[in-house]
Structure 1
């Protein structure tokens, strides 16, 4: 809705205006005459006293939208500037923002200070920002939608399935189009758009799940067919369509849906269907009774539905801190602000990434233990890899998390989707911190998200998890030289290191300032108190012996770096190895393209992937970016394929790691 429609009726918003107000009184009439209602779930719609007064100026619509999504909270001036102009604000930005605020106050006849007596809408000035103060947050349809979504989840968990279905339908009926359709969005509004769109999809999936439980499989086949056609690689909708068809006596059609999504996943993404979808397919092939609709009792069941009661005390699963942790002050400060600062709103998600051996898990343990008090309902810590190094099955992870918060394993649904729903329902109104370590796929992560706005999720992975909705990426760099020397001193001894400071700094550089490598060196020096640090420098200067020196007392630096190399594609390995052969010399894209006999554009694509994987560093000095491979990772590239004669001759018998 691009034009201002003064005097037009706003019928779609009247239910929000009237909700909760006493009818048939002069008081109600006066409240309605001055009430403000905002529609964000579609084209921006603003009504005052039942009349549409939506502004038409694009920037003014952006300002109003940002104030609305943060209603009754401070919207800082710097947030408004970032939203309107991102990284290129004009010199008059502050004055322009003040003008927009003045125009909104004039348009809506809003005071700029709190009023006495009954509550009325105001647009308050606040130190450093503004507050759109509304008597009821439900006057914004997006807030009403989120409240209904929470209620529907609680009803579904309590096995009040029909009520949940009705609640989810009511929530979805508030949408009139895309979130803030027609409004230009900067970075802040875009994050809200992403979050609300994902919540809309979740509510739709839950409503369909409730309908399936109610035996409405035939009624929703058409809707599901349309959804699957629009998103052919979305597995949860395909799974629900398979179940609906199967329960309607159309097993052949249900199996056909599986074949179509399998083909789409392989062709478009190079992936096989997720484990739970493969299991559903197998159950259908076997006509397993597990897929049949359970009998619906005429009266409420006598036995109470399984509920989750939090264990006492709350789960506190964060590992112990290591005593020799050093540095990372800036990263810890940013991590803490993101999860607990005044700007933290809604579910907060951080993806901590970095090369192998950089100390990601150690950093997260240190940072999260410092903020435990902000999450009084507990802290969960999950290693997503099993003892064999393979990803843990999603349901096993969910069982562990649910047991930690008080559920009996027998009460955990067999379906991954239902178990995930049980976890999300428990977290809806709590403050819980979840740390997922060694993540490798977003397929598993999407089932492990807590849902409460007071919750936080920290995902630790080597590669960025770009599909994580709303996640902030925090990449850990190598330690500084001073921090590296301090880490050596913590393990090998302060006096020893202070007497050979030059040698200690040289060891820091030879180890790429990786904490894992420095700990291996420190452990070796601690086990040989008669060695000078200069002797260790001499042994590590020979590249062919360096990895041997870093395989000590269970520290397997080469093995950890080689794991990253093994995940590369053939084309990535080719470019990586040719760049590693450059003896550490930074090269331009054109120089690398000549070495690998590929076009510069193709090489640039591969280089971007290797930089994301933190296996190649991009140097932005000068007119043209240059790339090089850090020293220890370069040795892995020179080794060629793992198990080659170079590797065996270089590493010898590796220590268990």
Structure 2
């Protein structure tokens, strides 16, 4: 049996989810699971279930909820005086498994092993704690410590990636995290270091200046000593900040890279080109785009699953990068009178106006953005939006408007997404694929020869053809799954190929959770379909 509280409250027995009933009953289970093997008094349950105004019958309602849970679930809920105790293996509850994995990661010296543990731990989060049953007050009373542990785990994961030479890969993620948590100096320092190692020392120093101003204005304090030392080291080009770059050579995808290069050349000739890159989790969309972006100027934005991200978040990242990399005088000339209007998307461009209240106002804003992108694209421009399946509806509509409205502009617009996780985007992206000059590219799995190359890198020894063939069949050539099997077998050479590595389970579980909803929409289609007409 598994109990999940990092998101909606769920209880699963075997392959079946148990119907838990009304909110109060689910919340009582969530609290008892959170406090597994510890007594929770009825009074505390009442405070957590009804934090503001408990009814007179609250104690009776708690007892009824416990009785119903005992009847529905194969677990021991013991009565202890005026309280209850859920007797179970703590690791059957996702929050305790999360804490255990984080503790293991902190004791692990190897960056790659630590990264695997932290990926598994953070993958257990499906949303806010007790998402469907608890009030904000209840979460504050129960879960504030674990929320902080999650943020520290995110920081630890970034630290591991930086140690592995993944500084370019974490910049966009860190930009979003620092925007959401501007007072977390460890995140700020990691962003500065990632930018510095990516050859963007000026932007790293600009991050420090903005943080110093924010801390002074909001809290009346200066940055800590560690952040000040990092600023000085960047100013001095201190060699201690450098790390040997770990090889992240892309395995396979030469055909796809060549096609992206051709489409970029087409776009730079003045024929606006839109590419929709789709594929399952772990198939290598972001890695392909990283390799494509090397040595050329690419403005990148990314949808995020985290709650609280503002509207137009991917586009805010795009315009912020453009501002950071463009001379201030040139930027002011290109923006012209559009700055205040675009302030709805990027507040620092001008005084943010009220959110558009009508379709007409939104259309006018999108037209303004399209005109601005046309001016930005003088000389050629590539814009990439990753993880469109997590983008907010407004960002998707703006993507669609730009795809339709940018005509005869030297612009390559790329959107990447997981097709089975699309929420609002399905109809929007379908409209885009019907445009002239639009291209849809579906990434397939790696071939057996490519899997052998990746496994050789992971295992530190030549991979036998028979071994590669079995793993290719087992994984469908998904690079993430191949990599995780390689790590598993490197740690334990006797590990069975049929065992699902922990690092791959969450991607598989996420896929299966939405598959049933999509069966009716499935239809055969070619891996790469192209509309050859141009604008």
TM-score by length of 2: 0.44
TM-score by length of 1: 0.36
Q: Larger helix proportion, structure 1 or 2?
A: 2
RCO greater where, 1 or 2, for CA within 8 Å and sep 6 or more? 2
